[in-house]
């Protein structure tokens, strides 16, 4: 049931994005994008390929970086209608060469703590040159 609601919300997000433009929308790489509809604290990482779309990392995403293989993400968790919990920073690794699944949890590694993130980067051989190049300081 929770996943069904997530999918409905994501599809509504895409429809609204197309209709009203939203607060923010930016294509990142290979079908991945950043989007916020009403307020920047809605910022999420999503994936769209034709009619298929899925939320990958929910709000509030505040920093991303990417290369040809991975997207790295920082997020403060947010449960609507509450503001983001800035006392918590989650880290995610999104392998972008993998097939994207309809289940959002299959498309990412995380949430991770900073320590877990550093360890997982090393395990995956992700270069230190991949940094958080897109940072929304107002959401940090």
Domain count, the chain: 1
Does the pLDDT value for residue 2 go beyond 80?
no
Is residue 13 a part of any domain in this protein?
A: no
Output the six-digit token pair for 126.
């992700």
Closest CA relative to residue 134, chosen from 69, 62, 70, 68: 62
Residue found under tokens 């910022």: 43
Q: What is the pLDDT of residues 34-55, one digit of tens each?
A: 999 989 999 999 999 888 888 9
Q: What is the pLDDT of residues 114-136, one digit of tens each?
A: 999 999 999 999 999 999 999 99
Mean pLDDT of the region 102-107: 72
**Distance between CA 21 and CA 33 in Å, rounded?**
14
Mean pLDDT of the region 61-70: 96
Is residue 7 a part of any domain in this protein?
A: no
**Distance between CA 92 and CA 28 in Å, rounded?**
15
Is residue 14 a part of any domain in this protein?
A: no
Q: Are residues 108 and 91 in contact, defined by beta-carbon separation less than 8 angstroms?
A: no
Which residues are registered as beta bridge partners of 44? Answer: 35
Structural domain harbouring 37: 21-135
Q: Is the peptide bond before 60 cis (omega within 30 degrees of 0)?
A: yes
Is residue 16 a part of any domain in this protein?
A: no
What is the predicted pLDDT for the residue at 19? 41
**Distance between CA 135 and CA 139 in Å, rounded?**
8
């Amino acid at each position: 049931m929770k996943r069904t609601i997530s999918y409905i919300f994501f599809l509504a997000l895409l429809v609204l994005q197309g209709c009203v433009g939203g607060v923010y929308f930016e294509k990142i790489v290979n079908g991945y994008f950043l989007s916020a509809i009403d307020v920047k604290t809605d910022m999420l990482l999503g994936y769209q390929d034709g009619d298929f779309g899925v939320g990958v990392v929910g709000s509030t995403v505040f920093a991303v970086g990417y290369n040809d293989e991975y997207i790295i993400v920082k997020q403060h968790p947010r449960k609507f209608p509450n503001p983001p919990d800035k006392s918590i920073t989650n880290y995610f690794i999104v392998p972008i060469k993998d097939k994207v699944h309809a289940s959002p949890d299959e498309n990412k590694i995380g949430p991770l703590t900073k320590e877990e993130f550093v360890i997982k980067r090393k395990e995956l051989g992700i270069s230190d040159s991949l940094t958080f190049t897109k940072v929304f300081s107002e959401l940090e």
